[in-house]
Structure 1
Amino acid sequence: MGVPVPRIGLLLALLLTASGARAQTDLFGPDTLHGLADIRLTSGDGERGFLAGGFGKTGRTDNGLSLQDLALEWKPHLGFAVSAVVSADYQPQLTPRLDWNEAYLKLKAPPSRLGRVQGRFGLFYPPVSMEHEGVAWSDPDMLSASAINSWIGEEVKVTGVEASLTRSLGAHEVTATGGVFGWNDTAGTLLTFRGWALHGVRTGAHTEFALPPLSAFMTPRQDEDTYPVLELDGRPGYYGRLEWRPPAPVVLNATFYDNGGNRTAVQDHQWAWETRFLNLGARWDVSETVRLQAQALNGETLMGFKRKGEIWVDVGFRSAYLLLQKRVGEDMVSARLDAFEVNDRTLQAIDNNDETGWAAALAWRHRLSPHAALVTEALHVTSDRPSRAYGRVAPHQDQTVVQSALRLSF
């Protein structure tokens, strides 16, 4: 399941064809290839992690030394109008281990009185995260993302078309972005049955996640695995985003997403979830060395038929975080506080997916050289989730993970 490889192969073929007579260095020059390696030492406690089919809230699979991630990103330039982004990830904790991350063409129109117009099409993440600004959609400063953007990295990857217009209004700059997409019908599955999590995992075109133990009601209806990049109902989804950059060192944005899912479309017990959310984001550069950033997301997801007048799954979800960063020389110190909640609005007596929790993280990125950094992070998560009883685990759980990663890049 997932996005068929030929679709990405077709995109690559279009890219190579579009190069025409351009010099080879425009495709494979030193500025077009970027890579990242993450070698990590981990120590943690708490319940079985979600990557191993549990309810755990972190990406920890085991303690000790491990290769966490290898990423390669290709950004060829074909003149002013056409460029591309193609990235692949090797993440040993996922299935499959090696997969496409993003693959899309970027098109840019010449400057005009209307403003700056550009677009992209292919496989990509919608513009929601304010944390993933590194190579291959990675977070350069921390080892775990917020609950919001960890979920975006898991379940909100689309195959579609996006266009944006940026216009200056005096000293202000406003960007409007819209996208139409498919292959994201199952968004909401993992968030409903596992709840929120905080980690650095990035789903690929073919990634499958094992779900934690399900209720007796849901076990015969839902497959034990979920595939985030999947088309089931033939209906498009859409999103829209507005970003405002005033003269002050502030960025404000709002994004609305709706996957257009038909909640009763099903294939091999994989369901098209009806998922929508509103995300608000803000960033304030307090000084040249201090940044304050926040996001808040509120949404809902529904799945299945009605039972005694109630839909099988109808949950609301919300989360918010506040991130404070301080640059010290060439180092970066980051502190983040998260709060999250899932509110099950139906059939709680037989399939309770309620959840409340919070998390705190402190990270230090120390620059060793232009191509190496040491990132150390402590993460604590506290959560209450009644459905843990389906796996014979206490509803209240605390988890603490301390990690140190050597990150090599080029």
Structure 2
Amino acid sequence: MLIRCILVVFCFISFHAVSDTRLLLRGSILSADNADTFQINGASHQRFENNAVALSQAVLAYNKVISDDWQLHAVANGYSDGEQKVGVNQLYTQYRPLTASTIKPEVKLGFFYPAISAENTDMGWLSPHFLSNSAINSWIGEELRTFGVEASLRQNGRQVRRDWSWKVIGSLFKGNDTTGTLLSWRGFALHDRQSLNNDRVKFTPIPGVVSEEGIGAPAWTDPFREIDTKTGYYVGAHLAHKRRSELRYYYYDNRANPLIFDPDRIYAWRTRFHAFTLRHMRNRNVTFFGQGLIGDTLMGENIVNNDFYAAYIAATYTHEAHQLSTRLDWYQVIDNDSTIDDPNSSRGEAITVNYTYAMSSKIALSAEWQVNRGRQENLRFLNATSVSSEAFHENLLQLAVTYRID
């Protein structure tokens, strides 16, 4: 019944405001390992478990031109899984004044993503190449959103008859105090479910985390909760060459006070990272892209102190209605604290292969295979006390039908 309601509401709104609205619906048939997903406090890093049929994506993107200089953007999502089934994913206003100057300003105000991703370039922050995101962007979709203001300056190389274009960015935000929770207590995951405003994301209840004798925290996180009232920031720069190659760099610091927690015992986590993005269009058919992430997160008075690293490289080949894409992921969390009952070290690698056939401008068929394997130290509390109990090996096969109205 819930899925039917989502479909009815999304279709009704879309067809009554089609000039400013885009709609995407995706149904998936999945074959996954017989292990409980983290979404129901299980140990699997996958979004779904067992064999399932799911509404994996329902996206309604609304764009409204308010004036020559101002636009309104809103994205709502619906899912058949997770804590919150329907909600807002992005909502912001954008100021882009018409000016004769070659250096143009831009301001965003609201709830939105920083432009870190190389793969999430489709509507609703989806990937046009894969059904599931890389480890980096799965985490960004879960725990990261700008709730604040972003200002930038940009110059288009074509306007000044140069091969190079550039953009510099700065942002102030709140509401990302818990960023780092999932990396530490669950590790990186690979999926396409983005957290909604007021959402909760669950993870395996590790005894040293949830027990009163331990940290006493719940086995879930609220990704966009404000705890310490401090303002975070990020800065970034984009450099593009002839619209074929682009390099991006971001530095992010939520400036959270790791000693503060709220009545739910949700802690603020001091999380910082450097993000690198590269995208290169080899020709009209072949594109290469990848990202790197280097950071650290701190909770309490050195209760949790972790470094984290992740990277992926990907390539996509398009010929007429056919698209073949592949991606290799690597990720690691290094535990630097001495909290014995809460080990956080994890590492892994994954391979993802996707084939998509565009039947028309509205309908696409996709098949995706993914293998994710690695070791996670805190899994030993859930299995037999042996070295092998820390290992995981996850397989996922997805068949999906995507319907869209642009």
Contact 1:359 / 1:380 at 8 angstroms: preserved in 2? yes
Q: Provide the secondary structure at the position in 1 that maps to 2:125.
A: coil
| Seq. identity, % | 26
Aligned to 1:246: 241
Contact 1:290 / 1:324 at 8 angstroms: preserved in 2? yes
Distance 1:217 1:332, change over 3 A: closer
Aligned to 2:371: 380
Aligned to 2:290: 294
- Quote the Cα distance in structure 2 between the aligned partners of 1:168 and 1:128: 19
Which of 299, 311, 332 is residue 323 of structure 2 equivalent to? 332
Q: Does 1:219 align with 2:207?
A: no
Contact 2:287 / 2:317 at 8 angstroms: preserved in 1? yes
Gaps of 5+ in 2: 1-15
- Quote the Cα distance in structure 2 between the aligned partners of 1:108 and 1:165: 10
Which of 82, 85, 96 is residue 97 of structure 1 equivalent to? 85
Give the letter aligned to residue 93 of structure 1: D
Structure 1 ranges of 4+ moved more than 6 A: none
Aligned to 1:201: 193
Aligned to 1:5: none
Contact 2:245 / 2:280 at 8 angstroms: preserved in 1? yes
- Quote the Cα distance in structure 2 between the aligned partners of 1:341 and 1:46: 24
Q: Does 1:45 align with 2:33?
A: yes
Give the letter aligned to residue 396 of structure 2: V
Aligned to 2:349: 358
Give the letter aligned to residue 86 of structure 2: L
Q: Does 1:407 align with 2:395?
A: no
Gaps of 5+ in 1: 1-27, 306-310
Q: Provide the secondary structure at the position in 2 that maps to 1:75.
A: strand
Which shifted more, 148-157 or 132-141?
Answer: 132-141
Give the letter aligned to residue 54 of structure 1: G
TM-score when normalising by structure 2: 0.90
- Quote the Cα distance in structure 2 between the aligned partners of 1:39 and 1:113: 46
Which shifted more, 166-175 or 275-284?
Answer: 166-175
Contact 1:35 / 1:71 at 8 angstroms: preserved in 2? yes
Contact 1:46 / 1:398 at 8 angstroms: preserved in 2? no
Number of residue-to-residue matches in the alignment? 378
Contact 1:40 / 1:405 at 8 angstroms: preserved in 2? yes
**CA shift for structure 1 position 351:** 1.4
Which of 116, 122, 135 is residue 147 of structure 1 equivalent to? 135
Contact 1:52 / 1:61 at 8 angstroms: preserved in 2? no
Aligned to 1:55: 43
Contact 1:46 / 1:399 at 8 angstroms: preserved in 2? no
Q: Does 1:159 align with 2:147?
A: yes
**CA shift for structure 1 position 370:** 1.1
Contact 1:46 / 1:397 at 8 angstroms: preserved in 2? no
Contact 2:102 / 2:156 at 8 angstroms: preserved in 1? no
Q: Does 1:182 align with 2:174?
A: yes
- Quote the Cα distance in structure 2 between the aligned partners of 1:392 and 1:359: 23
Aligned to 2:333: 342
Contact 1:213 / 1:390 at 8 angstroms: preserved in 2? no
Aligned to 2:231: 236
Which of 84, 87, 90 is residue 75 of structure 2 equivalent to? 87
TM-score when normalising by structure 1: 0.89
- Quote the Cα distance in structure 2 between the aligned partners of 1:263 and 1:182: 15
